[in-house]
Amino acid sequence: MSVNRIIFFTGKGGTGKSVISAATSLLLSELGYDTLIISSDPAHSLSDAFQVSVDRDITRIRDNLYALNVDPVKEAAQHYGVLMDYIASIFRSRGIDEIIAYELAAMPGMTGIATILKLDEIIEKHSFDCIVVDMVPSGEALRFLYIPALMGKISRRVLKLVSPIASMSKILEPVVGVPAPDRESIDKGLEIVDRIERIKNYILNHDVTSVRLVTNPDSFSINNTRRTYIQAVLYGLNPDLIVVNKVFPKVLKDTYLSEWVDAQAKLIVELEDTFYPLPIRRLKLFDRELKGIELLLEAAKEVYGDDDPASVFYKDVGIEVHHKDGELEIIFPVRYVGKEDLDIERIGDELLVTLYTDMGPTTLVIPLPAITYKMRLIRAKLINDRLHLIFMEERGNDEQ
């Protein structure tokens, strides 16, 4: 099975990303695309938006449109149950109470990874033209989307080294005082990593997957959007559209809200200048709660006009790699940050790039190409919103 388009919606909590996700999926189905919308947001707003009960099984909303609420706890238990049992056994062997042991065994980000695995399962078992994903708010969502790029490389290497000696490690249990992983735990770990690696091919393909950022015309939401965009680009994802939701109509210009109307207009202009040439669409603040098929379609048509929401509205250049004369140059797009906002540290075959923004620091772990094993980082330059990292082959005493 396969999918032609995957569209992730994310944004600060309360911006209306769930409603815009629902509206987008509805318009896609109206245009004839066989569409599935998935909510991984614990708030599960799809039932409210469509005014139809949506549960943990794929639910038909109307012709060409289906919806699914992912239960992250259930998915995590299904995919991680064996691994959690093993990790908890380690804590119990050290005298920790069983309840606390299982709390500690619940790895950070587990529910986010479970959502990625659910997406993989759907693609393997079903055939949809488009899948729309309503993600958890902002930074958390993007951290989960990056997991395939990082976990696929590191974890498989470790698990494959451990797997052949799983049975022998039982002999050492009395010596080391820690339970050894059984073959089932290791096989489950390898299965998860293989599935994550598979879904990575979809997520990092800019012709298939886009991230759409939902914001409101206020300074807090826009600052969050700037940070989210930077994270997305660094993670290799493709933000192709920003939707500014809850824009006051101009008819309110001469009312009590006139100052709000002026402030919003100014912020939207600044947003367009900041993110140019990334397309930005506006959606007015409706005079009632935005729910039900009729209102959702009206909202979708205001956002997309005559455009097809399945289109890729923008593609960034992405990451470039150049190798010449003993030097390797890796170029990353990092818009809207200055040289003083960057900190770079190399640890083995990985690079830690920390961005300091007004929303706090964001650190990205970038796996380096194998060729850099024999190289050292000699320069890092920020030129025209692109970070240039230059590596040179080690030359012993003749190093420059």
Q: How far is CA 74 from the centre of its chain?
A: 20
Q: How far is CA 36 from CA 60, 311, 365, in A?
A: 9, 16, 32
Better pLDDT: 359 or 234: 234
> Which segment, 54-63, 71-80, 131-140, is predicted with the most confidence on average?
54-63
Using the structure block, give the residue that is written with the tokens 């300074």: 219
- Assign 367 a pLDDT band (cuts: 50, 70, 90): low
Rounded CA gap, 21 and 24, in Å? 5
For the chain, what are the domain ranges?
3-72+109-304, 320-398
Per-residue pLDDT at 37 = 96
Tens digit of each residue's pLDDT (9 = 90 or more) over 130-150: 999 998 765 555 666 565 555
Can you tell me the mean pLDDT for 33-39? 95
Phi, psi for residue 326 in degrees, rounded to 5 = 80, 5
| pLDDT score for 185 | 66
β-partners of residue 211 are 8, 239
Q: Pick the residue with more confidence: 76 or 270?
A: 270
187-211 pLDDT per residue, tens: 766 677 777 778 888 888 999 999 9
pLDDT recorded at residue 105: 59
Reference 169, options 146, 145, 186, 153; nearest CA is 186
pLDDT in tens, 368-380: 766 777 888 888 8
Kindly give the residue spans of alpha helices, DSSP state H, lying in 31-171: 46-50, 72-93, 98-105, 110-125, 138-162, 166-169
Question: Residue 158 corresponds to which tokens in the numbers above?
Answer: 């470790």
pLDDT digits (tens, 9 = 90+) for 228-280: 887 787 677 899 999 999 999 877 767 788 888 889 998 998 888 778 788 99
Residues in the chain: 400
pTM for the model stands at: 0.75
Domain 320-398 belongs in CATH node 2.60.40.790: yes
Span 350-362, average pLDDT: 70
Instruction: Out of 63-77, 167-181, 314-328, give the one with best mean pLDDT.
Output: 63-77
Neighbours of 371 (CB within 10 A): 12
Question: By C-alpha distance, which of 156, 236, 237, 154 is closest to 192?
Answer: 156
Instruction: Please say if the pLDDT value at position 151 is more than 60.
Output: no
Superfamily of domain 3-72+109-304: P-loop containing nucleotide triphosphate hydrolases (3.40.50.300)
**How is residue 173 written in tokens?**
């249990």
What are the b/e assignments for 102-127, b being 16+ CB within 10 Å? beebeeeebbbbbbbbbbbebbeeee
pLDDT, position 399 = 46
pLDDT at 159 over 70: no
Amino acid 175: pLDDT: 45
pLDDT of res. 400: 45
Instruction: Tell me which of 173-177, 198-202, 330-334, 360-364 is least confident.
Output: 173-177
- pLDDT of residue 90 exceeding 70, the answer is no
Select from 232, 182, 237 the least CA-distant residue to 205. Answer: 237
Q: Which residue has the tokens 């060729």?
A: 371
Look at residue 87 in the predicted model and tell me its pLDDT. 65
**Residue 148 confidence (pLDDT):** 55
Of 14, 226, 241, 75, nearest in space to 139 by CA: 226
Residue 155: pLDDT band with limits 50, 70, 90: low
pLDDT of 362: 67
Average pLDDT rounded to a whole number, residues 280-298: 94
Per-residue confidence band for 172, with pLDDT thresholds at 50, 70 and 90: very low
Q: What is the pLDDT of residue 250?
A: 79
